[in-house]
Amino acid sequence: MQKILKLQKTIVPELVEVLEKRYNILRAIYYNQPIGRRILANMLSLGERIIRTEINFLKSQGLIEINTPGMTVTQEGEELLENLNDFIHELKGLSDIEETIREALGLKKVIVVPGDMENDHTILKEIGKAAANYAKTIIKNGDIIAVTGGSTIKEVVDSFPKISNVHDVMVVPARGGMGKKVETQANTLAARLAGKLNGSYKLLHVPENLSEEILETLIQQKQIKEVIDTIHKANILIYGIGRADKMGTKRGLSDEQLSRLMESGAIGEAFGCYFNKESKVVCLSPTLGININDVNKISIHIAVAGGKNKVEAILATELNKEYGVLITDEGAAEKIIEIINKDA
């Protein structure tokens, strides 16, 4: 397969470009349907004339429909998209990139989704779908799954289908609540994921950034202690990765606290821990739930993050995690490769 693809790219590179362009257009319609041509053109940074030509082709092939509300993908179009995923993955040589990153970072597995999230926001949905597809293959009876909050993990949960072939699965929030959006809170996502897995869940109604005195008092409460004990038994962790500066701001740190955080060398953040470029924890966000010691006991870590702006954070949080699985986008992966080659 790889040999044939290399020959195609050498002899008829324009066909490869057309295939990738039509795939990107069809995928963008699928994730944003119904959608108009002008919005689609802006979303993909393509001229309206190009979009019009490609739309006419996709319609003539029965892959999309055009109605008053906008364009939608047909059943045949959905099936084609699904079948093209692996082909595009190989066409772009992403398997080699995955292996290079896996070896360099010392991870268990790396999955790279075609596309650049910073140029096409629908790639975030593809990242979520890839994470959900991988998680489905490893979840088994009796697992305890801990999930963090955030928009990326929301996409993972959204992408999960209803599953009925596993039993007695428990889903818990990895840590206390953060931010004002209920739909991206860890509690909300834990409950929704449990529903899709036909499992049960426990919630942790404790916000982040409480004083240690208050946290010590809360952990004495029987109901909270039971939830914390369950969280500490988790064997699968699904989490997002953030830049230290942005996560510090999200957590409501004062200017002085934020300055101290940056002075400590913090670059990336995951599950309430701030990491420096040597992947050492330099600061902890005070809350109940999973901490760095718990993480080291969890057998499977699924980190989900995309975008070139998060590459340094990814490198800071993911180095030498033998049980770690990283799911990211092509844009971030290429930048990771650049940094790896530069440091070699």
The larger pLDDT score, comparing residue 62 to residue 319, is at 62
Q: pLDDT above 90 covers what percent of the chain?
A: 56
Selection from 125, 131, 141, 137 nearest residue 81 by Cα: 125
**pLDDT tens string 122-152:** 899 999 999 999 999 999 999 999 999 999 9
- 187 and 128 assigned to the same domain: yes
Return the CATH number at 62.
1.10.10.10
d(CA 138, CA 2): 28
Please give the residue that has the higher pLDDT: either 247 or 178.
247
The boundaries of the domain holding residue 56 are 2-91
pLDDT of residue 207: 66
Verify that 83 and 211 share a domain, yes or no.
no
The whole-angstrom separation of Cα 214 and Cα 217 is: 5
- Residue 271's pLDDT is what? 87
Q: Compute the radius of gyration of the chain from its Cα atoms.
A: 21
The structural domain count of the chain equals 2
Contact 249, 261 (CB under 8 A): no
pLDDT at position 202 over 60: yes
Q: Are 85 and 220 contained in the same domain?
A: no
What digits encode the pLDDT tens for the residues 175-194?
876 556 788 899 999 999 99
The answer to whether residues 84 and 109 belong to one domain is no
Q: Given strand 268-270, what is the order of strands in its sheet?
A: 242-243, 268-270, 273-275, 281-284
Q: What is the distance between the alpha carbons of residues 314 and 102, in angstroms, rounded to a whole number?
A: 13
Q: How far is CA 134 from CA 39, 130, 156, 334, in A?
A: 32, 6, 10, 21
pLDDT digits (tens, 9 = 90+) for 153-165: 999 999 998 888 8
Domain boundary among 61, 91, 121: 91
* 84/182 same-domain check: no
CA 254 to chain CA centroid, nearest Å: 28
pLDDT per residue as tens digits for the range 9-35 = 676 667 778 888 899 999 999 999 999
CATH number at residue 160: 3.40.50.1360
Residue 267: per-residue pLDDT: 94
Determine the pLDDT at residue 321: 85
pLDDT for the residue numbered 83: 87
For 148-184, give one letter per residue: b (16+ CB within 10 A) or e. Answer: bbbebbbbbbebbeeeeeeeebbbbbbbbbbbeeeeb
- Same domain assignment for residues 246 and 308: yes
Residues 27 and 144 in one domain: no
pLDDT in tens, 222-246: 778 888 888 889 999 999 999 999 9
Question: How far apart are the C-alpha atoms of 87 and 83, rounded to whole Å?
Answer: 7
**Per-chain mean pLDDT for the chain:** 88
Domain boundary at 91, 123, 157, which? 91
Amino acid letter, 332? A
pTM comes to: 0.88
Domain check: are 247 and 177 in the same one?
yes
Do 141 and 66 lie in a common domain? no
One domain, residues 85 and 217: no
What is the band of 250 on the pLDDT scale with cuts at 50, 70, 90? Answer: confident
3-state SS assignment for residue 85: helix
State the residue for tokens 């369950």: 230
Q: Which of 33, 68, 91 is the last residue of a domain?
A: 91
Q: Give residue 248's pLDDT band: very low, low, confident or very high (50, 70, 90).
A: confident
Give the pLDDT band (50/70/90) at residue 329: very high
pLDDT at residue 30 in the model: 93
What pLDDT score does 292 carry? Answer: 79
The pLDDT value recorded for residue 304 is 97
Q: Residues 17, 136: one domain?
A: no
pLDDT classification of 8: cutoffs 50, 70, 90: low
Q: What is the pLDDT of residue 142?
A: 95
Gap between the Cα atoms of 113 and 129, Å rounded: 10
Identify residue 50 by its one-letter amino acid code.
Answer: I
Q: Are residues 249 and 316 in the same domain?
A: yes
Between CA 5 and CA 317 the distance in angstroms is 34
